[in-house]
Structure 1
Amino acid sequence: MEYLYEYIDDLLRLQSRAVEKYNHKGVLGDAREEFIHSEIRSRIDNLANRLHKGEVYFKDQEFGQHDIILRKRGTLNSSLGRQIRISSEECAAIIEVKTNAKLTEISDFEEKSKKLKQRMPNLVCGMFCYKISGKTSTVLERSGLKFDREYQIFEQDSSKKIYDYIDFILCLDDNVEVNGIDRHKTDITYSKGFFLKKENNKYQLFHSAPFSKMFFQELKRADELN
């Protein structure tokens, strides 16, 4: 089945690049989000009627607009048209979609995830990024993973860790990042694409595609948890 997930990864990237041809900035993000929604609906049974986008709140606190919201089973569908306004108590997962995520946007979502999880600890909070504008190594350092140039691997190191509440971060970027040179004066490179998954208060790094498989797994996990 890995070939199917590789196909989905490629399809998501191609669709994102295709919409860039249209000089209509107001709809580019919507086009990407709708395509992700359609892939989720067609690949995972029993989620279609509970998949939304819209505003999340808790009592008198507002958490803003979100791109992918998975509503809990048995809750009322309060959507109006293509949007929903929903309490975080009724959400199984809240996911942000970013075309080219800034490091500040990841930090902002970390803070938002912290507040959401104080009330709903089983709520799954994740980020789906086509690209990240900062360095991959910086994102991973902030997740407790430091790059060892000698062995050319990312190892657990919490000295610069600041992310604790985001459950997963997916980056679909298929470009490479240069991180210094080795003793042969050759560039040390690795893929900018990755999937970070929080397990037992640590982030596990998956640096090899396909990533859509793990994305779908997180959605199913959220549905089972809630």
Structure 2
Amino acid sequence: MTDAALIENIAAGLEMNFGHAGDISGDAVESYLIGQMASLDEKSRVHVLETIMARMDAPSRSSASGPAEDAVLTQVCSLLLGRKVSMDDLSSSELLEKLAESLNTIFNTLNQLISVINMSFTGEGSPEETIRQVIGYRLEGEGQGNSLETYLGQISSAFLTSQQSFKEAAYAKVKQILSVLDPEQVATEVGKGLKFGPMKKAEMYEIYEHRYQKIQKWFSSGRFMEDFLREFEKNCQTKFAK
């Protein structure tokens, strides 16, 4: 049986078995659909279900929709797609499917990005609210949860925090290196002895060479990068918590 014929049979069966029922059991509908689509693979099942749902929703959508609603819908879709669309365009199931897929990708990516930010800066996992919940609260006029601006503002805040934290971490490590190689510090250490002239200069050079080799080993061993990243992460967490 082709998908088209199967869709017709399933739609007719749903109407006959559940169309006039007062109390419809979700389990009963699910069992009916599973039985009817037992021979289909997952992709075909999704296609059949989407087609049936679109057909069942079409009458109510067309009867409830008017010129004002159509204008709002086309305006929203035009903003999302970046080009002017008409109701004829929106009647295309392929266009609506692509739009839904694109929005789903955007929402999932935003949630993943916020989750990575929280994990990196606060040690916590997923955000308390997803972008879908935030938008839902806003559309329903509920005051609970973060505003959309606050939710998305975490991204720009994270970049600015990272930039400033990187600067401070780099400054701290360079300052540490300069402190170790400071000629005055070397001279102070040599001054504790009783050497003069060339002998004193030779000792200063030995101390300087020893410190330079120590810094070089610190850098080449990878411990410099570990210390730098530790300083950077500490700065990020401190600033992001404010």
Bin for the TM-score computed over the shorter chain: under 0.3
Greater percentage in helix: 2
Greater percentage in strand: 1
More relative contact order, 1 or 2 (CA 8 Å, 6+ apart)? 1
Q: TM-score, normalised by structure 1?
A: 0.25
Q: TM-score, normalised by structure 2?
A: 0.24
Rg comparison, structure with higher value: 2
